[in-house]
Amino acid sequence: MEVIILPNLEKAALLTARIIEKELRAKPELVMGMATGRTMECVYKYLVEMHRKENLDFCRCRTFNLDQYIGLPSDHPNSYLQYMQEQFFNLVNIDPTCTHLPNGMASDLRWECRSYEALIQAAGGIDVQLLGIGASGHIGFNEPISALASRTREKALTPSTREQNAELFGGDVNKVPNRAITMGVGTILEAKRCILVATGHAKASILAKAVEGPITSMVTASALQLHPNCQVIVDEDAASLLQGREYYRWIFQNEVEWVEFQDMDALDIR
Ligand code: F6R
């Protein structure tokens, strides 16, 4: 795991987008694992700008979203398909037939989860998986005590996750579905590369547990400590409770692989 600390959400999102850009230019048929949520909006904003101003080409890439609420029709304003279309799919030249989300309206949810796993396998696995972290420590919707070897499946959401997302449902927690389909922790760990983005004071405590605490199903993001190619890109606020901040900064400033990403002004969209 590598932790990269940047001044704010904008810079964290820009670096994340630049890393994805590099992967995509090297492999145009990249399989991207997508996340939703407020943190990711800024990452998608930069990818869209790179498409518009720097000809970043998404026409051959494939995408798989982490999760989807159960029981929300795909045209519901809070469905993750709507989110992805508004934030990303409709704004770049991606082929809609190459974008995938679990279907939370499937009549046979078990079958839906198994087929989603099979689709990921058939695509050759996920090359780069984007992740946020929830107040409950979740990645995807892998809530506390999710098996660390879990696969795509149905999951009941914790009260804290439903509260975290209530704002998007007009502030009414009762409108937030209580179940979702999510890729499992095991599914996520099979991605070739994982990038977790976390910003803001509200994430500081759970991020410290995920990065520096023990690996535990109580904080499923901590399972990323097992991943051989995982970057955690955070702002100063989210990093504020990390014990190893100075060491992480030193690594980012000194490791050869990061040289091309160190000058944040140079990373700006031209
Ligand atoms: C969404 C997802 C979640 C979010 C997490 C952070 O697809 O998988 O794990 O990434 O809840 O959400 P925000 O960015 O809204 O704080």
179: left (phi over 0), alpha (psi -120 to 50) or beta: beta
The percentage of the chain sitting over the pLDDT mark of 90, rounded to a whole number, equals: 97
225 has a pLDDT exceeding 90: yes
Which pTM value belongs to this model? 0.98
Mean pLDDT confidence for 205-231 = 98
Report whether residue 37 contacts ligand 1, using a CB cutoff of 6 Å: yes
Write b or e for each residue in 149-176: b if 16 or more Cβ atoms lie within 10 A of its Cβ, otherwise e. ebbbbbbebbebbbebbeeebeeeeeeb
SS3 192: coil
The percentage of the chain sitting over the pLDDT mark of 70, rounded to a whole number, equals: 100
**The pair of three-digit structure tokens given for residue 222, joined into one six-digit string:** 């901590």
Which residues pair with residue 55 across a beta bridge? none
Dump pLDDT digits (tens) for 5-63. 999 999 999 999 999 999 999 999 999 999 999 999 999 999 999 999 999 999 999 99
Which residues pair with residue 219 across a beta bridge? 216
Report whether residue 67 contacts ligand 1, using a CB cutoff of 6 Å: yes
Place of tokens 């695509």: 123
| pLDDT attached to residue 270 | 87
How many residues in total does the chain contain? 270
The candidate with the shortest Cα–Cα distance to 29, out of 62, 64, 65, 63, is: 62
Best residue for ligand 1 mutational test, from 141, 168, 188 (most atoms within 8 Å of Cβ): 141
Residue whose CA lies nearest to ligand 1 atom number 3:
140
Distances (CA, A) of 132 to 95, 220, 247: 25, 12, 23
Range of lowest pLDDT (32-46, 110-124, 158-172) = 158-172
- What is the Å distance from ligand 1's center to 140 Cα? 7
Dump pLDDT digits (tens) for 168-207. 999 999 999 999 999 999 999 999 999 999 999 999 999 9
Distances (CA, A) of 233 to 53, 74, 81: 24, 30, 25
